[in-house]
Structure 1
Amino acid sequence: MARAVWKGHLQVAELSCGVALHAAASTAERVSFNILNRKTGNRVQRQYVDEETGKPVERDDIVKGYELASGQYVLLDPDEIAEAVPQSDKTLRIEAFLSCPNIETVYLDKPYHVAPSDAVSETAFAVIREGMRTKNVAAIARTVLFRRVRTVLLRAQGAGLIANTLNFDYEVRSARDAFADVPDLAIKGEMLDLAKYIIETKKGAFHPSDYDDRYDAALAELVKAKMEGRAIKPAKPKPQAKVVDLMEALRRSAEAGKATGKQAKPRKTGAKPSSAKAPRRKAG
């Protein structure tokens, strides 16, 4: 079983059960590099340097500071920061339930898998999970995670729950600013019909395994080629078709979809995509 990153209790009203959070996403499998000295081949270390004197600063002399004005700071010692951090009682308290379709995804942050932490908690956990599944609701809960008070969204999935920490309101930028200059155009007639037809021919389902990290795969292939003494030819970008008329572009797209019969191709199962990735082993 995967190692839990947090253990505590899930509580709703008077019902409580022990739960464990497991990281649902990880970057550990990405290709990673070490920083080396080109001349010696040795790894290099980062070092803090005084901005004014240029001299190295010892770890014990490093403190955090909040800038009040240019060059003026309020200094905060680690002990002072630790005392200001909210104390955790290791309880994930459900404060409200809401309809699943009403969740704004822009607020979703890191995902976690939630499971009962022991056999004693399994029944109470199942009651909460099945109640949420039956009512098709998500739960909003709060707790202290990793020294910060976090709001968490819980949803039933499979035998457990999926938890997403939520971005705070001040962290999410308003869409109003981003869309301020976008005109509200009314699209009708053939143009809208063609758009709907193109969407229909492109219908499918989301299977995460169908989408690879091309940047990571390219880095892995580069490392493998260097190990084997091969040269890598840079991939040439595909030429973009130049279509000036929007209506003509829509018609061509519709014709292309009609010619290929591209409509929700059945997904192959059991076949794994070939991979040219080098072994996931950190250098050094």
Structure 2
Amino acid sequence: MAPRANWKGFLKIAEVACPVALYTAASASDRIVFHTLNRATGHRVHRVFIDSESGKTVPREEQVKGYETAPGEYVVLEAEEVASAVPESDKTLAVEAFIRCREIDDVYFDNSYYLAPANSEAQEVYAVIRDGMRASQVAALARTVLFRRVRTVLIRAHGAGLIATTLNFDYEVRPAEEIFDEVPDLTIKGEMLDLAEHIIRTKSGRFDPSKFEDRYEEALADLVKAKIEGKPVPIRKEPVREKVVDLMAVLRESAGLAGRKPARRSSTPAKVARKTPARKPRTARRKAS
């Protein structure tokens, strides 16, 4: 059974329009889902909304949206008032500009979708747009109404098709300075940088998503299977903790070798570290200060 499109409309570039459909690229629908049950009866339980003051159940028709203006004070918004804020949609992904593929920081990426031709008649136009973008090595910035909001979408060539990624708004992305402001601006060079580069080279590889396992999901599947078959529940094994190497300790040890052996340029970090001058005694540093 073919997947169901999340959205259908037109990809429009200037006067060219191509019927397209959006399909979710990543989904959590295959994950194991649990329901909340009444332990005594085995029946499913349902969530109800309770008035925080009276403790009485509030039926759906009496529930409204509210925006808190002060502690315990709210502006009430009716359903039709909220609906009036939803922008009208013309079902068009209107391309506003073409940019270099690496121009947008990945931190702005939200959700990705497969953007495919909506019908056989659109395939030729779709292929022209896809191949033109690939040949020019550009991505398209487009805007449309998706899921009740005007969204900016980044469209890129991907294999035989196109990938459309919704972008976070600027106000949704926290400034990096909030997190990194207190990180000192240090310049690392010499033996320290040589050692770091050596460690990185020894762990170089390629991204293969099939090698990354969802261990929690697999453990849940084994647990459910054991319960169904009436077998003992699998005992969780303690993870084997690998020895963590202190990078600075390695550097200090390498630096300690410098005073005992001649300095010589080498590709191995330990030998490179021999060129590091021996550290001054603590007393000498105190006098200098």
TM range (shorter): 0.7 to 0.9
2:243 counterpart residue number: 241
- Structural mapping, 1:13-162, within 5 Å: 13-162=14-163
Aligned length, in residue pairs: 254
Residues 231, 95 of structure 1: alpha-carbon distance in 2 compared, 3 angstrom cutoff: same
* Residue 214 of structure 1 pairs with residue 204 of structure 2: no
Q: CA deviation at 1:240?
A: 4.7
Quick one: which amino acid aligns to residue 173 of structure 1? R
Higher RCO (CA-CA < 8 Å; seq separation 6+): 1
Name the CA distance, whole Å, in 1 between partners of 2:251 and 2:82. Answer: 58
1:269 counterpart residue number: none
SS at match of 1:102: coil
Structure 1, residues 147-189: CA drift from partner, whole Å, max 9, x if none? 1111101000112110111111111111111111111222222
Name the CA distance, whole Å, in 1 between partners of 2:9 and 2:20. Answer: 6
Question: Once superposed, what is the RMSD of the aligned Cα atoms?
Answer: 2.0
Name the CA distance, whole Å, in 2 between partners of 1:12 and 1:213. Answer: 40
Quick one: which amino acid aligns to residue 161 of structure 1? L
Q: Do the aligned partners of 1:194 and 1:251 also contact (CA within 8 Å) in 2? A: no
Q: CA deviation at 1:6?
A: 0.4
SS at match of 2:102: helix
Q: CA deviation at 1:234?
A: 2.0
Kindly report structure 1 stretches of 4+ aligned residues shifted beyond 6 Å: 249-252
Name the CA distance, whole Å, in 2 between partners of 1:186 and 1:161. Answer: 41
1:231 counterpart residue number: 233
Name the CA distance, whole Å, in 2 between partners of 1:52 and 1:34. Answer: 29
SS at match of 2:125: helix
Quick one: which amino acid aligns to residue 230 of structure 1? P
Name the CA distance, whole Å, in 2 between partners of 1:7 and 1:108. Answer: 21
1:259 counterpart residue number: none
Q: Name which of structure 1's ranges 132-141 and 115-124 shifts more when overlaid on structure 2.
A: 115-124
SS at match of 1:154: strand
Quick one: which amino acid aligns to residue 63 of structure 2? I
SS at match of 1:110: strand
Q: TM-score, normalised by structure 2?
A: 0.83
Quick one: which amino acid aligns to residue 147 of structure 1? R
Residues 141, 244 of structure 1: alpha-carbon distance in 2 compared, 3 angstrom cutoff: closer
Q: CA deviation at 1:238?
A: 2.4
Residues 128, 242 of structure 1: alpha-carbon distance in 2 compared, 3 angstrom cutoff: closer
Residue ranges of structure 1 left out of the alignment (5+ in a row): 256-284
* Residue 182 of structure 1 pairs with residue 177 of structure 2: no
SS at match of 2:81: helix
Quick one: which amino acid aligns to residue 62 of structure 1? Q
Name the CA distance, whole Å, in 2 between partners of 1:47 and 1:114. Answer: 39
Name the CA distance, whole Å, in 2 between partners of 1:75 and 1:178. Answer: 36
Q: Do the aligned partners of 1:6 and 1:21 also contact (CA within 8 Å) in 2? A: yes
Q: Name which of structure 1's ranges 68-77 and 82-91 shifts more when overlaid on structure 2.
A: 68-77
Residues 185, 64 of structure 1: alpha-carbon distance in 2 compared, 3 angstrom cutoff: same
Percent of residue pairs identical: 55
Residues 224, 13 of structure 1: alpha-carbon distance in 2 compared, 3 angstrom cutoff: same
Structure 1, residues 6-35: CA drift from partner, whole Å, max 9, x if none? 000000111111000011110011111000
Q: Do the aligned partners of 1:195 and 1:250 also contact (CA within 8 Å) in 2? A: no
Residue ranges of structure 2 left out of the alignment (5+ in a row): 255-266, 269-289
Q: Do the aligned partners of 1:19 and 1:114 also contact (CA within 8 Å) in 2? A: yes
Q: Do the aligned partners of 2:192 and 2:251 also contact (CA within 8 Å) in 1? A: no
Q: TM-score, normalised by structure 1?
A: 0.84
Residues 96, 37 of structure 1: alpha-carbon distance in 2 compared, 3 angstrom cutoff: same
Q: Which structure has the greater CA radius of gyration?
A: 2
